[in-house]
A and B are shown apart, each in its own frame.
Chain A
């Protein structure tokens, strides 16, 4: 086993473990902290694939911005009790069915993938470097890039409309 393989298995174990901890932890603040650890594990995977820009953006945006927002919301809602409220049985059943459907879709999508012909460019692949990503983003994918700015605008308006009632 090369060192990359060892790191891959270690990171995968970390990601899976922390993702499970996010779900089974009863205290929302701990869930958020486990989720942050999950993002770090995923960033580690990106680095192994030499997608350096994605790795750091994953940390800045997910671990550094979205998780801060989650923490804000959890810390400032009225969470006096350490336990999340018990849901009714029906709600649990609905949740299980919905998640089962998602799992089915994922399995169906992944079933036909030809894994053997895909070679992961570990360590030396350079498509994930910022220079190459930037070139592709601003030439080939410039329209989706512009459309994303409209998405941001609508998100901002939505946030202000909901947050500022007057």
Chain B
């Protein structure tokens, strides 16, 4: 107990003890949200009819199930997002250290960026992000 908490005082931010307050906040926020959800569940009136429990489709009767296959563009955006996201994460350790790494590190990252750009231009040229069709 002592060693975990004492570390916060010595060097802030560099030990896992600095995450303790975040844990506290998670507990607090989850508790608050759960509490509000439960309270409003009991406070409101309950006069439910069959029409009320239907899904709303702007006044007309809703047809069929909503869960149907979607346009592939959305999948493509999600896949490309994952790839670019990982590449961007790679830049973070560089950004923190780049003064120390100097020009060597810069050219290494430039090579990475050029591959990034190649992929990016390929995607644009192939029309993977065209939505107008």
Interface of B toward A, CB cutoff 8 Å: 1, 3-4, 7, 14-17, 19, 65, 67-70, 72, 74-76, 78-83, 85-87, 89-90, 92-94, 96-97, 100-101, 105, 108-109, 111-112, 115-116, 118-119, 122-123, 126-128
| Contacts between chains A and B (CB distance < 8 A), count | 145
Interface of A is mostly: helix
Q: Which residues of A contact B17 (CB under 8 A)?
A: 123
**A-B residue pairs, 8 tightest by C-beta:** A134-B93, A149-B115, A134-B97, A76-B70, A156-B119, A163-B76, A69-B78, A159-B79
CB–CB A76/B90 < 8 A? no
CB–CB A69/B79 < 8 A? yes
C-alpha spacing A4/B4, complex, angstroms: 7
Q: 0/1 per residue, A106-143, Cβ < 8 Å to B? A: 00000000000000001110100111011101110010
C-alpha spacing A3/B3, complex, angstroms: 9
A2 located at the interface, meaning its Cβ lies under 8 Å from any Cβ of chain B in the complex: yes
Interface size on A, residues (CB 8 A): 54
Closest B residue, CB atoms, query A157: B122
Q: Which residues of B contact A76 (CB under 8 A)?
A: 69-70, 74-75
